Homo-oligomer: A and B are copies of this chain.
Amino acid sequence: MGKDIVKVGLLGLGTVGSGVMKIMEMNKEQVRSRAGTEIEVKKILVRDREKPREVKVDPSLLTTQAAEILEDAEIDVVIELVGGLGAKDYVEAALRRGKYVITANKDLMATAGASLLQLARDKGRNIYYEASVGGGIPLIRPLKHSLGANRILRLIGIINGTTNYILTRMDLEGMEFAEALREAQARGFAEQDPSNDLEGRDAAYKLCILAGLAFNSNIDFNSIHVEGIANLSRRDLLYARELGFTIKLLAIGEETDAGLALRVHPALVPLTHPLAGVLFENNALYVEGNAVGEVMFYGRGAGSLPTGSSVVADLIEVVRSINHQVENGVMESDFRDKKVVPLEELNSAFYLRLQAQDQPGVFAGLANAFSAEMVSLDMIIQKRSREGRAEIVLVTHREKEKNFNAALARIHKFPGIMAVNCVYRVITS
């Protein structure tokens, strides 16, 4: 049974595509032995056949016509590495022609994953997308299989390398945001237009995919609350450390009694939490299951070879499936729609930094504003004031976000308060 050779078409030969070709060459024996069959990359879609490339590829494999791959009946597997929502046509065409699809396209899987997986199911095929989240870190397969016996209670991810690199440099080296961003760009950890990363959208796409699997649910990308890190100041990282925390851009998915809670925002993380040790461009996903307890997956969340490692792992699985002639089932097609809870209804602790006039009654006014909304204070820092102005940092206990916001509205109106600089949520455990 099975084929002697499985033929593959590659759409795109950029960063990840080059990584895939390098791995297929350098680990040829390993891949062949795990897959159980010879694998041949038959054709590669590129925009420019003449462009010099960092990976050596037989020029006769290159084509500028997608149809040469999508309509080739010999090709069983299409690896889509073009990226962006425009790739949807390619993926649909491949599935319609009965090909298996492997993709690293997070935008596509986050926004159109449900319909594409349904199409795959209808065709008796499947889509593999380990590389769409967390580069080389195994996340999709563990959520689908290894933790399959768990009801997942919560996911907390550091799943954007650009922002984690910036926050790590700010925290460990005392850089300001702009300087750390320049460093990230110089080292290739941030793009020239980094807004997708800095504003949290990249992390939200990935959360959309992970939360779908974790909670067996079709997640609407627009139901995710998203805040970025562009306003973060080094000053807050210093205060956080004084209080025993660091600040990370977190992607959080939770299943509460009231429904799903989905959000990307910067948050204070206790220095004793495993996520606090995830530094520089590294990524991690922290998962709480009702049987397994807490587990964490850590590694390089991007890059040519790490992401290629996930693509080739998917390829090995596809080839094993083809060779055992198994329709091994699209697990995601049983997903249900679940209610999403507004952030205001969730409980959180909060960090607040503000400027107040250094005069009698100001602190009492602050304290009264919180107490009127039943929000209690956990930690307070007030340093010696300068020029009649006191900087105050407060951390509250966990309370409903609605109540905290109401207290904040009172504080804004209070005459002794000169400015509320910033508010961040705090992870307490």
Contact = CB atoms under 8 A, between A and B. Distances in A.
A290 B148 contact: no
Given A30-B150, A313-B145, A292 B300 contact: yes
A149 B328 contact: no
Nearest to A277: B277
Contacts of A364: none
A151 interface: yes
A207 to B, nearest CB: 20
Contact of A326 (B34, B146, B324): B324
A298 B295 contact: yes
Contacts of A279: 272
Contact of A305 (B146, B291, B296): B291
B300 A297 contact: no
B329 A326 contact: no
A397 B317 CA distance: 43
A27 B151 contact: yes
Q: How many copies does the complex hold?
A: 2
Contact of A295 (B26, B297, B308, B327): B297
A59 B150 CA distance: 26
A296 B150 CA distance: 21
Select the residue from A130, A145, A277, A324 with max chain B CB neighbours within 10 A.
A145
Interface in A269-318: 272, 274, 276-279, 289-300, 303, 305-306, 308-313, 315-317
Interface stretch (A40-48, A103-111, A134-142, A258-266): A134-142
Select the residue from A27, A34, A312, A317 with max chain B CB neighbours within 10 A.
A34
A293 B299 contact: yes
Contacts of A19: 291
A147 B300 CA distance: 13
A132 to B, nearest CB: 14
Contacts of A137: 292, 295
A36 interface: yes
A306 B292 contact: yes
Contacts of A216: 30, 33
28 contacts: A22-B291, A27-B150, A27-B151, A30-B149, A30-B216, A31-B149, A33-B216, A136-B293, A138-B147, A141-B141, A141-B142, A141-B145, A142-B146, A145-B316, A150-B309, A272-B279, A274-B277, A274-B298, A276-B277, A291-B305, A291-B306, A292-B305, A292-B309, A293-B300, A294-B300, A297-B297, A320-B328, A326-B326
Given A274-B298, A324-B329, 18 more contacts: A23-B149, A23-B291, A27-B290, A34-B331, A136-B289, A138-B146, A138-B147, A141-B141, A141-B145, A141-B146, A145-B316, A277-B277, A291-B305, A292-B309, A293-B303, A294-B300, A297-B298, A320-B329
